[in-house]
């Protein structure tokens, strides 16, 4: 083999994928992640039932959001259907003190971080560009310019280093950052630059890609000829590919990577192989670019069903629990429905509220101008 060829894997597409739960719910052992799960208490039957409930809830919210969009209540909705394990798992794998940096499709992550779904819906309704306090919830706003959030994650992690909360040996106070981006976004130069900064400064950040096979209509193969998990290795950043529809594999990989990062061992990268079951957004028509057979194939790998089967096999879940989850999910959907339908449009003058943190004469003048202009109509209305 040539001196060049010997430097890359022989068959690059052969990247092992860690799986703890098969599609039918069967559990396989994985000494390393089993230890992580056991040590962290993240995989007790109670927690697992909790994840099941979380996934059911967030899926219901997601479906409701789609229908609210159809009703004209939202401008757009980006469904995360099929990615629930990858998101709920990653969200719960992070510790309270960690900072999460999502994209725009991280509804399960948001849920796990305690961000109420209606806050997400607000965004897609067009009420605000971001409704929560990132520092209070330790979760960055939803980010739309692909890849742009990755350097923010690294910078935040550099801040953690300077705050002395990395590598002290106490994982309950040491912190790290989870940087999320999609398979498509992985091609953005800013993601690569983030790898560079993270590696050079050994920042406590874990890069996490939900490879859901598609970037709108473009398959992952256009972004990378080799499994994405391999990308970061060019920077010496260790990485692993896990089954993203297997909440246990996600929990094990992400928790172990975050804990390694918080311990001061530098960045890591996790690729979670999953599938975007719905179209890209409510504006998209997936039938134009992918075969129904593919969607069916992945329907069989449904992450929620998989966890339920596993719990059933273990005798850790009963019909009653499942029913209660469904009922709660239905209630959540109804709440969302009413919340959104009951929403009044914001007074547009609010657009002048936050362009700057400090007073700005142009903004002040334009706000005044706007109010004066608007008042004409109010006067007219009053006169009428």
Partner 1 sequence: MSSTASNLPIAKAITAGLRDAMTADDKVLLMGEDIGPLGGVFRVTDGLHAEFGSQRVVDTPLAEAGIVGTAVGLAVRGYRPVVEIQFDGFVYPAYNQITTQVAKMHNRTSGAVNLPIVIRIPHGGGIGAVEHHSESPEALFAPTAGLRILAPSNSQDAYWMTRQAIECEDPVIMLEPKRRYWVKGDVDPDHRPELTPWQARVVRPGTDATLLAWGPSMPLALESAQAAAEDGIDLEVIDARSLSPVDFPTIAASVRRTGRLLITHEAPVLGGLGGEIAARISEQCFYHLEAPVLRVGGYHLPYPPARMEHAYLPDLDRVLDGVDRLFEH
Ligand X SMILES: Cc1ncc(C[n+]2csc(CCOP(=O)(O)OP(=O)(O)O)c2C)c(N)n1
Residues 184-223 close enough to bind Mg ion by CB under 5 A: 184, 212, 215
Q: What is the DSSP letter of 169?
A: S
When binding is defined by CB under 8 A, the residue of 11, 14, 348, 381 that contacts partner 1 is 348
Q: How far is the CB of 224 from ligand X (least distance, A)?
A: 11
Enumerate residues 6+ apart whose C-beta is below 8 A from 126.
74, 75
Q: Footprint of partner 1 on residues 89-108 (CB under 8 A)?
A: 99, 104
Q: DSSP 3-state assignment of 193?
A: helix
E strand intervals along the chain: 17-18, 99-101, 177-182, 205-211, 214-215, 218-219, 239-243, 268-273
User: Does residue 156 belong to the site contacting partner 1 (CB under 8 A)?
Assistant: yes
Helix-helix angle 84-93:45-70, to 10 degrees: 130
x/- letters, 172..191, toward partner 1 (CB under 8 A):
-----x------xxxxxxx-
x/- letters, 303..342, toward partner 1 (CB under 8 A):
----------------------------------------
* C-beta of 94 vs 274, nearer to ligand X: 274
Residue 337: active-site member: no
Residue 324: active-site member: no
Catalytic residue from among 289, 290, 339, 367 = 289
When binding is defined by CB under 8 A, the residue of 12, 38, 222, 368 that contacts partner 1 is 222
Q: How far is the CB of 379 from its own copies (least distance, A)?
A: 45
Q: What is the DSSP letter of 139?
A: B
Residue 373: active-site member: no
**Per-position DSSP letters for 1-45, written without gaps between them:** --TTGGGS-SSTT---EE-SB-TT--B---HHHHHHHHHHTTTSH
- Rounded to the nearest angstrom, the gap between the alpha carbon of residue 357 and the centroid of all alpha carbons in its chain is 28
Catalytic residue from among 105, 280, 308, 310 = 280
Q: Footprint of partner 1 on residues 1-60 (CB under 8 A)?
A: none
User: Does residue 226 belong to the site contacting partner 1 (CB under 8 A)?
Assistant: no
State the virtual CA torsion across 58, 60, 61, 62 in degrees, nearest 10. Answer: 90
CA distance 227 to 248: 21
x/- letters, 116..135, toward partner 1 (CB under 8 A):
-------xxxxxxxxxxxxx
Active site residues: 276, 280, 289
């Amino acid at each position: 083999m040539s001196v060049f060829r010997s430097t890359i894997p022989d068959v690059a597409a052969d990247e092992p994928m860690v799986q703890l739960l098969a599609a039918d719910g069967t559990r396989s052992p994985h000494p390393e992640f089993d230890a992580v799960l056991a040590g962290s208490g993240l995989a007790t039957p109670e927690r697992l039932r909790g994840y099941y409930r979380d996934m059911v809830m967030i899926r219901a919210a997601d479906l409701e959001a789609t229908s609210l969009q159809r009703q004209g209540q939202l401008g757009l909705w980006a469904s995360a259907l099929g990615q629930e394990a990858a998101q709920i798992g990653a969200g719960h794998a992070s510790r309270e003190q960690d900072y999460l940096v999502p994209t725009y499709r991280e509804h399960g992550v948001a849920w796990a971080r305690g961000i109420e779904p209606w806050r997400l819906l607000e965004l897609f309704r067009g009420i605000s560009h971001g409704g929560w306090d990132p520092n209070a919830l330790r979760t960055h706003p939803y980010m739309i310019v692909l890849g742009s959030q990755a350097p923010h994650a690294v910078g935040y992690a550099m801040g953690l280093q300077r705050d002395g909360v990395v590598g002290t040996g106490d994982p309950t106070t040491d912190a790290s950052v989870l940087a999320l981006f999609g398979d498509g976004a992985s091609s953005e130069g800013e993601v690569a630059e983030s790898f560079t900064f993270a590696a050079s400064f050994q920042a406590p950040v874990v890069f996490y890609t939900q490879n859901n096979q598609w970037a709108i209509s473009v398959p992952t193969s256009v972004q990378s000829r080799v499994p994405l998990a391999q990308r970061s290795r060019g920077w010496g950043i260790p990485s692993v590919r896990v089954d993203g529809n297997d909440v246990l594999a996600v929990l094990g990989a992400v928790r172990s990577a975050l804990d390694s990062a918080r311990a001061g061992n530098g960045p890591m990268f996790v690729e979670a192989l999953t599938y975007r079951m719905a179209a890209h957004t409510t504006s998209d028509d997936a039938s134009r670019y992918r075969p129904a057979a593919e969607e069916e194939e992945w329907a069989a790998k449904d992450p929620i069903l998989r966890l339920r089967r596993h719990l059933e096999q273990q005798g850790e879940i009963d019909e009653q629990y499942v029913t209660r989850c469904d009922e709660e999910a239905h209630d959540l959907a109804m709440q969302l429905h009413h919340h959104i339908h009951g929403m009044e449009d914001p007074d547009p003058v609010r657009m002048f509220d936050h362009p700057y943190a400090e007073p700005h004469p142009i903004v002040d003048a334009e706000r005044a101008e706007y109010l004066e202009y608007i008042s004409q109509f109010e006067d007219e209305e009053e006169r009428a």
